[in-house]
Amino acid sequence: MAESEGQERTEQPTAKRLREARERGQVPRSRELGGAVMLGASILLLSMMGGPMMAAVMGWLKNALTFSSGDLQPTRLLPHLGTEFIGMALIVAPLFIAGVVAAIVAPMFVSGVSFSSKALMPDFSRVNPLAGFKRLWSGPALAEIAKAIVRVAMVGVVGYIVLRSKLPAIVHLIDEPAREAIPHGGSIAIGMLFSLTFVMVGIAAVDVPYQIWQHRRQLRMTREEVREEMKESDGRPEVKARIRRMQHQLANRRMLEAVPKADAIIVNPTHYAVAIQYETKMRAPKVIAKGVDTIAAAIRDVAEKHKVPIVSAPPLARALYRQVELNKEVPVKLYAAVAQILSFVYQLKNYRRYGGKPPQKPQIDLPGE
């Protein structure tokens, strides 16, 4: 890892790095989106339930400001205040619930559902004042300051424009009766808040792609880190090579164990050896072992040990080795040549058992291709 310290982080984060970051609770977040969704949800709820909530507030004010002589006694004053506090809390509870739901749902639009217990663990590195000072003047922190300035400026400008357009209606509220002025003023306030919500949504539409880009930029990797991760994921080359060697050795061992079952070993005397087996239930002879050089020598040694006939037929041995996979049947074009070998082997077995005239080794004719 020391080699990667001086390298630039130019590579995009891998899926493994993104997954590990999510497990640590490091996901893209947009405060602008959260604020816009919370404000929008609250205003939408007010526009739908504003009338009943306003009536409930008026009833609460009437009841809260109505005192009897007994309510002013110390023993009854605190319970009265507690009851009125609970009454107001129940009135504004829908707004509170809407804000909480919006605060939970808003991050899902950016990073999906994510919960990490590691993010709840204390990070004592953040207590270091020097590190905190460095973070204060880092690129992301300066970007957040710039966003805050732009947000305040845009909200201020839009708020001023909307307030100026609504100013005559606001001034006219003084001349209206209270029963008409209160809902009229509420509708003006909700309209202004809707305008500010559109501004917040516009800011969030720019901030969300920026936060995703910034998140992936912070997780960029050096080429050395990418190589190390690939080695860890796919296995180190030397380990994979060792596994392949072991698999090859096991396959060769199983193949050599099948040699005693062969009817004949067809060889090129020094390089190739192919073991042929044929039983009456088979459609055609099949190759049960084959090899070159050291494997061919091992096949011949096992065949000699178990007295399996070895027949030298170089062209046929090479053709069978190259054209027939292990444990596969001999192709039709080589039927005749293999049949000549097997016939010779069967005659040889009968000669050794019963005597008589020794068989003549056949002349193997292979197709031109």
Domain extents for the chain?
Answer: 27-112+137-218, 258-354
pTM of the model: 0.49
Q: Which residues contact 140 (CB under 8 A, 6 or more apart)?
A: 214, 218
Rounded CA separation 250/97 (Å): 66
CA distances from 12 to 5, 33, 222, 231 (A): 17, 25, 9, 17
The pLDDT assigned to 4 comes to: 47
**243 compared with 86, residue with greater pLDDT:** 86
- By residue count, the chain amounts to 369
Give the containing element (helix H, strand E) for 361.
none
- For 177, the token pair is 């009766």
pLDDT higher than 70, residue 349: yes
pLDDT higher than 70, residue 1: no
Whether the CB-CB separation of 58 and 186 falls below 8 Å is answered with no
DSSP 8-state code for residue 310: E
Give the containing element (helix H, strand E) for 34.
helix 31-64
Over residues 121-151, the pLDDT tens digits come to 555 555 555 655 566 666 667 777 887 888 8
Over residues 4-43, the pLDDT tens digits come to 455 677 778 877 888 877 777 778 888 888 888 888 888 8
117 in the Ramachandran plot: left (φ > 0), alpha (ψ -120 to 50) or beta? alpha
pLDDT higher than 70, residue 70: no
Give residue 329's pLDDT band: very low, low, confident or very high (50, 70, 90): confident
Lowest average pLDDT, out of 108-112, 308-312, 334-338, goes to: 108-112
Provide the H-helix boundaries in 174-236.
178-218, 223-234
Over residues 144-195, the pLDDT tens digits come to 788 788 888 888 888 888 888 888 888 887 777 767 777 777 778 888 888 8
Residue 262: which of 335, 322, 342, 332 has the closest Cα?
A: 342
Whether the CB-CB separation of 284 and 335 falls below 8 Å is answered with yes
- Per DSSP bridges, beta strands 310-312 and 264-268 are parallel
pLDDT higher than 50, residue 45: yes
Tokens 């178990």 belong to: 306
Fold of the domain spanning 258-354: name from scop (3.40.1690)
The pLDDT assigned to 327 comes to: 85
Q: At what angle do helices 74-105 and 31-64 cross, to 10 degrees?
A: 160
Rounded CA separation 79/85 (Å): 10
**2 compared with 294, residue with greater pLDDT:** 294
Mean per-residue pLDDT for 225-243?
71
Over residues 252-283, the pLDDT tens digits come to 888 888 888 888 888 887 789 999 888 878 88
The pLDDT assigned to 128 comes to: 56
Rounded CA separation 186/355 (Å): 120
Vertex 147 angle, CA 141 and 152, to 5°: 130
Residue 306: which of 346, 263, 358, 267 has the closest Cα?
A: 263
